[in-house]
């Protein structure tokens, strides 16, 4: 088995294991009562994830790992220039790539063309672990293309890349989960990581709440960059987008077609005139 196949296999096993584990935990300690049929949502989100898995494995399988290997052979990038190798490169890669994707996430809300794709993720009417894999294939492709210059500029090693991807996947499943994390544990964890309470606010229909809490793994970026927002009653949060509040508006075909369905609404958070 080559490196690319091995990477795809561990990613699938890791994602599937996490999905099952969080679904079980959500059934025991759920926070919100779903507003949409679980089975229909699961079918939509899992089928979108399947398309993305096919896209990554068939069209882009192993591409980023090969690119990262070439970067290390050429010794380009910041980490190589300052002599960060081995474990130091892995740790630096996770932290730096997390900051990069804080910026990418924020841009997804600010740039209309990026928001067109990202709103497919935010159109989910409920928030649970399956929302973590509900990303439009176009957004996945854009994200992959953004990773290329980031890997080159930073000098991210293959192990650093795999570690970041694993951390990103685990963090996404945790923060999107419909899990009730009891105090004071939630506050303690949130000092370091993005928690379900923190990310639930980001999925609110209220624009001021929606355009906050952009961090992907570490919560520090929102704190230091002025987008941290927790002064919200969790029970009052309405999930989704105002223009897509009917289940029929977020069917599989409409979610896939969403980036191309006319102009962005004036209530969209990416529209500065709203």
pLDDT of residue 247: 92
pLDDT of residue 15: 80
Beta carbons of 64 and 148 less than 8 angstroms apart: yes
pLDDT of residue 99: 98
Residue 73's H or E segment, with its range, is helix 63-74
Tokens, residue 95: 């932290």
Beta carbons of 121 and 250 less than 8 angstroms apart: no
Beta carbons of 261 and 142 less than 8 angstroms apart: no
Tell me the average pLDDT across 88-108: 98
pLDDT of residue 235: 92
CA 124 to centroid of chain Cα atoms: 14
Residue 89: pLDDT over 60: yes
Could you tell me which residue, 58 or 256, shows the higher pLDDT? 256
Work out the pLDDT band at 4, boundaries 50, 70, 90.
low
Could you tell me which residue, 9 or 42, shows the higher pLDDT? 42
Residue 152: pLDDT over 70: yes
Residue 57: pLDDT over 90: no
CA angle (63 as vertex; 58, 68 as ends), nearest 5: 160
Local structure of 161: helix, strand or coil:
helix
């Amino acid at each position: 088995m080559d490196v690319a196949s091995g990477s795809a296999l561990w990613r699938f096993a890791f994602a599937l294991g996490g999905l099952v584990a969080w679904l079980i935990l959500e059934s025991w300690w759920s926070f919100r009562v779903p507003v949409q049929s679980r089975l229909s949502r699961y079918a939509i989100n899992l089928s979108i994830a399947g398309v993305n898995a096919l896209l990554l494995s068939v069209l882009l399988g192993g591409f980023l790992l090969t690119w990262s290997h070439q970067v290390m052979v050429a010794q380009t990038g910041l980490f190589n220039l300052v002599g960060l190798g081995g474990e130091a490169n892995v740790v630096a890669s996770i932290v730096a790539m997390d900051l990069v994707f804080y910026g990418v996430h924020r841009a997804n809300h600010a740039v209309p063309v990026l928001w067109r794709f990202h709103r497919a993720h935010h159109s989910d009417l409920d928030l649970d672990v399956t929302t973590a894999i509900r990303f439009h294939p176009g957004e996945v492709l854009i994200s992959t293309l953004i990773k290329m210059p980031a890997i080159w500029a930073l000098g991210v090693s293959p192990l650093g890349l795999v570690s970041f991807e694993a951390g990103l996947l685990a963090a996404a499943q945790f923060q999107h989960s419909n899990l009730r994390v009891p105090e004071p544990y939630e506050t303690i964890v949130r000092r370091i990581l993005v928690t379900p309470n923190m990310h639930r606010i980001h999925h609110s229909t209220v624009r001021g709440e929606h355009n906050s809490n952009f961090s992907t793994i570490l919560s520090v970026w929102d704190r230091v960059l002025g987008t941290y927002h927790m002064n919200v009653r969790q029970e009052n949060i309405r999930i989704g987008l105002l223009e897509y509040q009917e289940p029929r508006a977020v069917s599989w075909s409409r979610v896939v077609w969403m980036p191309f369905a006319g102009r962005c609404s004036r209530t969209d958070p990416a529209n500065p005139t709203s």
